[in-house]
């Protein structure tokens, strides 16, 4: 069967691999749409140290159940539309024992530490299959990245009395914006791209600020009555945005970090103490986050068409990834069509 692989930096290719053998407690999926995400872009660029060699990318999945093993519960049936929880957990580390398997120290994510779903068929444990029959298969492929943003809002303990600024309006950042809006917060979208800011506004953000503007700080102070946001969610992963989050958040505020910075970040650590900040990491997502995203998408008011930058066939992956690498700010999600 056909599969996409990233054999080396700057190269994506299509190859033939063996079809999977389904276990008794597994579900065989026929892939329809699989998203290229930021981690795949980093792998393509040669900057993802966590990715295995010759990895098959892909963990943002819209698929149909092809067959089920004999030990799979009866609620999972052939023909159902599904997405997938792409993470693993060991069950014994401190994260797992504390009820946070999303942060398992031994986690292996599809398409990163283990081969992913960018292929025609994949067989996975039934516990990782998430039914989503009311969604389109393209919407199914958007669930995982939005879930990461939803989880960050939970980590930040956002309530309806908070003013929340989300730095970075890519797919994950938009997920955080939507979840904060759903919780009743006042939401500020921050990005360097006006097109992304416009989409953030259409998805419920109360304010949209371009961080490259000379008046950014003053505008933020005006919106927050001189206090700064109660919560800042960092969804970019650059030294500048990490520093911005600490500098701009209110006294006794919460900073939640999703993005990975590829270089060291220097802070004025006095602000940690002087502001008595809560600084929290946010990794992956929990099952409840996937469920919440599915409920949101079922409402039908998400501008899905604006979030999918392109739909391509596997054979066009090389050209598409080259474009994304050269224009990283212009892409939300690229879906690879295996239908």
Q: Give the mean model confidence (pLDDT) for residues 20-33.
A: 98
Report yes or no: 184 and 164 within 8 Å, Cβ to Cβ. Answer: no
In the prediction, which pLDDT does 138 show?
98
Q: Mean pLDDT, the chain, as a whole number?
A: 96
The pTM of the whole model exceeds 0.85 = yes
User: Model confidence over 145-166: pLDDT tens digits?
Assistant: 999 999 999 999 999 999 999 9
Q: How confident is the model at residue 128 (pLDDT cuts 50, 70, 90)?
A: very high
CB atoms within 10 A of CB 161: 9
10-19: Cβ within 8 A, 24+ apart = 10/44, 10/45, 10/46, 10/322, 11/44, 11/318, 12/44, 12/317, 12/318, 12/321, 13/317, 13/318, 14/314, 14/315, 14/317, 17/56, 17/119, 19/120, 19/121
User: Model confidence over 249-285: pLDDT tens digits?
Assistant: 999 999 999 998 888 999 989 999 999 999 999 999 9
Q: How far apart are the first and last CA of the chain?
A: 13
User: Model confidence over 286-327: pLDDT tens digits?
Assistant: 999 999 999 999 999 999 999 999 999 999 999 999 999 998
Q: Of all residues in the chain, what percent carry a pLDDT higher than 90?
A: 94
User: Model confidence over 30-71: pLDDT tens digits?
Assistant: 999 999 998 999 999 998 888 999 999 999 999 999 999 999
- Name 138's Cβ contacts closer than 8 Å, sequence gap at least 6: 33, 62, 304, 308, 311, 335
User: Model confidence over 190-243: pLDDT tens digits?
Assistant: 999 999 999 999 999 999 999 998 999 999 999 999 999 999 999 999 999 999
Q: How confident is the model at residue 74 (pLDDT cuts 50, 70, 90)?
A: very high
Nearest partner of 306 among 138, 70, 159, 191, judged by Cα = 138
- Name 96's Cβ contacts closer than 8 Å, sequence gap at least 6: 89, 90, 104
In the prediction, which pLDDT does 262 show?
82
In the prediction, which pLDDT does 330 show?
81
Q: Give the mean model confidence (pLDDT) for residues 169-181.
A: 97
In the prediction, which pLDDT does 73 show?
97
Report yes or no: 203 and 197 within 8 Å, Cβ to Cβ. Answer: no
Q: Please check the confidence at residue 328 and state whether its pLDDT lies above 90.
A: no
DSSP letters, 289-330, are HHHHHHHHHHTS-S-HHHHEEEEE-GGGHHHHHHHHHH-GGG
């Amino acid at each position: 069967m056909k599969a996409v692989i990233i054999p080396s930096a700057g190269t994506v290719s299509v190859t033939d691999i063996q079809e999977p053998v389904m276990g008794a407690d597994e579900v065989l999926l026929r892939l329809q749409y699989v998203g290229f995400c930021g981690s795949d872009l980093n792998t393509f660029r040669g900057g993802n140290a966590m990715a295995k060699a010759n990895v098959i990318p892909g963990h943002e999945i819209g698929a149909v159940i092809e067959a089920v093993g004999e030990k799979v519960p009866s609620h999972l049936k052939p023909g159902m539309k599904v997405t997938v929880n792409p993470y693993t957990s060991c069950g014994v580390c401190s994260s797992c024992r504390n009820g946070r398997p999303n942060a398992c120290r031994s986690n292996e994510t599809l398409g990163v530490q283990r081969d992913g779903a960018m292929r025609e068929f994949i067989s996975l444990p039934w516990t990782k299959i998430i039914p989503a029959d009311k969604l389109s298969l393209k919407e199914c492929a958007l669930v995982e990245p939005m879930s990461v943003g939803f989880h960050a809002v939970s980590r930040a303990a956002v309530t309806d009395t908070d003013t929340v600024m989300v730095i970075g309006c890519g797919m994950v950042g938009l997920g955080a914006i939507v979840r904060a809006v759903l919780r009743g917060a006042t939401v500020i979208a921050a990005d360097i791209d006006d097109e992304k800011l416009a989409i953030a506004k259409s998805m419920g953000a109360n304010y949209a600020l371009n961080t490259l503007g000379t008046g950014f700080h003053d505008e933020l102070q005006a919106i927050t009555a001189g206090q700064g946001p109660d919560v800042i969610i960092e969804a970019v992963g650059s030294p500048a945005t990490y520093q911005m989050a600490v500098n701009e958040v209110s006294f006794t505020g919460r900073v939640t970090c999703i993005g990975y910075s590829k270089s060291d970040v220097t802070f004025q650590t006095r602000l940690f103490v002087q502001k008595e900040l809560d600084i929290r990491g946010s990794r992956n997502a929990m099952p409840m986050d996937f469920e919440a995203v599915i409920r949101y998408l079922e409402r039908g008011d998400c501008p899905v068409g604006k979030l999918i930058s392109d739909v391509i066939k596997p054979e066009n992956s090389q050209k598409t990834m080259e474009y994304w690498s050269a224009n990283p700010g212009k892409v939300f999600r690229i879906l690879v069509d295996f239908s």
